[in-house]
Amino acid sequence: MTTALPRRPRWRSLALLALCLAPLLWPLEHLAERYYRNELTSQNSQTLDLYVANLLGTLHRYEVLPQILGDLPALRALLGAPDDGVTQGNANRLLKNISAQTGAEVMYLMDTSGKTLAASNWDKHDSFVGRNFAFRPYFSEAMAGRLGRFFGLGTTSAKRGYFFAAAVREGERMLGVLVVKVDLDHTERLWGKTPEQLLVTDHNGVVILTSRPEWRFRATRPLNEEERQAIVAIQPYPTRTPRPLDLNSKAWLVQTQQIEETGWSVSILAPRTLIDRPVRTVLAIGAAALLVLMLLLGLMMQRRQHYMERIAFEGKARRELEMRVAERTSDLENLNRRLKQEVLERETAQQELVRAQDDLVQAGKLSALGTMSASISHELNQPLAAIRSYAENAEVLLDHQRTDDARGNLKLISELTGRMASIITHLRAFARRDHHAPESVALQPALDDALALLAKRRRAMDVELIRDLPAATLWVEAGETRLRQVLGNLLANALDALTEKGPPRKLWLSAESTATGVNLYIRDNGPGFCMEALGRAGEPFYTTKTRTQGLGLGLAICDTLMRAFGGELAFANHREGGALITLRLRAGAPGVSPQPSEDRGV
């Protein structure tokens, strides 16, 4: 007998109610947009006022300079004697000193024809001295008795600036014109990196100052023919035909302020995203609140419906309880029979598992031999390929009667066969437990070779290597290849241990001469050995790594090779943390090899 499930709450009605309430988000969006627009407009208006005040303050500071400096005797003297070199030098130095004190970019004095007689940049490569600027409007305005004003790009210096010019008079007679150029580049740098952009345009609608360099000297409106001719005549921009600046009016919120005395328009362009983002946030919050309201209504409806259904459900549940008890009793009896059967099956599986583990150990041994065979095959393939190449070259060299070069190739072939023989001898010694007579081996070079093989891995793991080795070479009794194998295995195990630790990772190498030989210490700041590992570290096929990381033969092979040298391999934990491995080797005669090196033996 099945029990009827309680009905779900009327989510369709709630969804319909949500659709009816959704239009309430539109006035919320409108109010949020108006609020954030007013906030941004107010903030940018204050910023615009500050920038305009700073710009006007800069211009007003230099506005009266041409009128004041025109009364200096040294400048009037030069206008009276323009060909006198001494007078000209005095005027140049005077203008340079005043320019440095006031911060003006350049000051220069012109005669009534527009020719520059003296300038503060007289000693620079772009000196104005000798140049004629009569075509500039500030010259004609000054000659007309007014204060000349002009913004433009210098034809000599190629730098932007604002020019003030005033006539130098003697009574009613015009003697010349004094000009002060002000650098306004710093007004752009004051703007900083903000989402809002600065835009200053002149009377032609051309951008002269901006926080976006790619907008500079672009036209914000079409230019008529008269304006184009004026641009060609006075050359205020680096181009005679300014390219148009196409701005998407929907993407920017623009506020503009006029500067009457210069004819400029200063604008702040704020991206619409500064309004759209907070408006979207408000809409998201409003939608979330509406969703929460719908969920609360749904939960209230669900709770009421569940309360009404619970009374009927409990009565029906009582009637079904007796039937379930009877069914459960029958199920328990069947379950008990199945459990007995599973116990028998698990005992049989346990026996099979023991047999499978034995087979797995045997397979691990075969895998280790296969890994060693693959390594030896890799080592032999390289010299075999080189031997084949040298042999083919030797045949060609003999055909060309180049016996000396062919002899060199044969010598290299001989060296490569010696290397292959050393590899095979080393494999045979490991398989048969063959013992080579120890020889004198330099410890530091063997250690450097082992470190070089692991250098890339050590740098990738950011392991700091701390060496404390004697400057004098330490000679030990060992086999050169076998010693490198031992050092390489131990250093690789140290790096494996450091992978389980976060930075900083450190590896210490130190050595000392003792009364019985030489001790080499390899220490890391990894997790160290556990108690079980300290007792079984040299045991074959014992490992704390996973089966894919190793089979537990590395330290066993190192321990066997060390005993073959007459040495000893000791494992411990350092008192400051990490593993400490000690290699105790017998001392060897310096520079003496009593038996042929195993690396050269056949």
- What is the pLDDT, as a whole number, of residue 323? 85
- What is the pLDDT, as a whole number, of residue 21? 63
pLDDT of 596 strictly over 70: no
Reported as a pLDDT band with limits 50, 70 and 90, residue 539 is: low
- What is the pLDDT, as a whole number, of residue 116? 93
Q: Of 349-358, 530-539, 550-559, 572-581, give the range with the top mean pLDDT.
A: 572-581
- What is the pLDDT, as a whole number, of residue 177? 94
Q: Are residues 491 and 579 in the same domain?
A: yes
Q: Are residues 156 and 252 in the same domain?
A: no
Is the residue at 207 inside a domain? yes
Identity (one letter) of the amino acid at 241?
Answer: T
Is the residue at 334 inside a domain? no
Cα separation, 74 vs 92, in Å, equals: 9
As to burial, measured by CB atoms within 10 angstroms (0-12 exposed, 13-18 middle, 19+ buried), residue 442 is middle
Q: What is the mean pLDDT of residues 139-148?
A: 90
Q: Are residues 74 and 124 in the same domain?
A: yes
Q: Are residues 550 and 505 in the same domain?
A: yes
pLDDT of 368 strictly over 80: no
pLDDT in tens, 92-128: 999 999 999 988 889 999 999 999 999 999 988 888 8
Is the residue at 423 inside a domain? no
SS (H, E, C) 356-423: HHHHHHHHHHHHHHHHHHHHHHHHHHHHHHHHHHHHHHHHHHHHCCCHHHHHHHHHHHHHHHHHHHHH
- Residues 512/518, Cβ–Cβ less than 8 Å: yes
pLDDT of 377 strictly over 70: no
Q: Are residues 86 and 218 in the same domain?
A: no
pLDDT in tens, 459-490: 888 888 888 888 888 898 887 777 887 888 88
Q: Are residues 244 and 165 in the same domain?
A: no
Q: H-helix or E-strand containing 35?
A: helix 25-63
- What is the pLDDT, as a whole number, of residue 22? 66
Q: What is the mean pLDDT of residues 360-366?
A: 46
Reported as a pLDDT band with limits 50, 70 and 90, residue 89 is: very high
- What is the pLDDT, as a whole number, of residue 458? 84
State which of 128, 159, 183 marks the end of a domain.
183
Residue 50's closest CA among 224, 187, 225? 187
- What is the pLDDT, as a whole number, of residue 553? 59
Residue 42's closest CA among 276, 284, 274, 280? 274
**How many residues belong to the chain?**
602
pLDDT of 364 strictly over 50: no
Reported as a pLDDT band with limits 50, 70 and 90, residue 535 is: low
In terms of pLDDT, which residue wins out, 6 or 356? 356
Whether omega before 278 lies within 30 degrees of 0, making that bond cis, reads no
Q: Are residues 507 and 529 in the same domain?
A: yes
User: Structurally, how many domains does the chain consist of?
Assistant: 3
pLDDT of 264 strictly over 90: no
Cα separation, 164 vs 180, in Å, equals: 5
pLDDT of 532 strictly over 80: no
Q: What is the mean pLDDT of residues 63-83?
A: 88
Q: Are residues 112 and 232 in the same domain?
A: no
State which of 183, 202, 218 marks the end of a domain.
183
Q: Are residues 82 and 211 in the same domain?
A: no
| pLDDT above 90: percentage of residues in the chain | 8
- What is the pLDDT, as a whole number, of residue 14? 62
Q: Are residues 441 and 581 in the same domain?
A: yes
- What is the pLDDT, as a whole number, of residue 484? 81
CATH number at residue 237: 3.30.450.20
pLDDT in tens, 3-37: 444 455 456 666 666 666 667 667 777 787 788 88
pLDDT of 199 strictly over 90: no
pLDDT of 515 strictly over 60: yes
The DSSP-derived string for 550-566 is: --S-HHHHHHHHHHHHT
CATH number at residue 565: 3.30.565.10
Q: Are residues 80 and 210 in the same domain?
A: no
Identity (one letter) of the amino acid at 50?
Answer: L
Is the residue at 547 inside a domain? yes
- Residues 109/116, Cβ–Cβ less than 8 Å: yes
The overall average pLDDT reported for the chain is 79
Q: What is the mean pLDDT of residues 523-539?
A: 74
Is the residue at 513 inside a domain? yes
In terms of pLDDT, which residue wins out, 330 or 380? 330
- What is the pLDDT, as a whole number, of residue 602? 30
Reported as a pLDDT band with limits 50, 70 and 90, residue 559 is: confident
Owning domain of residue 492: 436-586
Is the residue at 412 inside a domain? no
pLDDT in tens, 285-329: 877 877 777 778 777 877 887 888 888 888 788 888 888 888 888
The label of the residue with tokens 């203008």 reads 95
Is the residue at 388 inside a domain? no
Q: What is the mean pLDDT of residues 144-170?
A: 86
Is the residue at 234 inside a domain? yes
Q: What is the mean pLDDT of residues 249-253?
A: 81
Phi, then psi, of 58 in degrees rounded to 5: -65, -45
Q: What is the mean pLDDT of residues 83-98?
A: 91
State which of 124, 150, 183 marks the end of a domain.
183
Residue 271's closest CA among 287, 289, 249? 249
Q: Are residues 162 and 233 in the same domain?
A: no
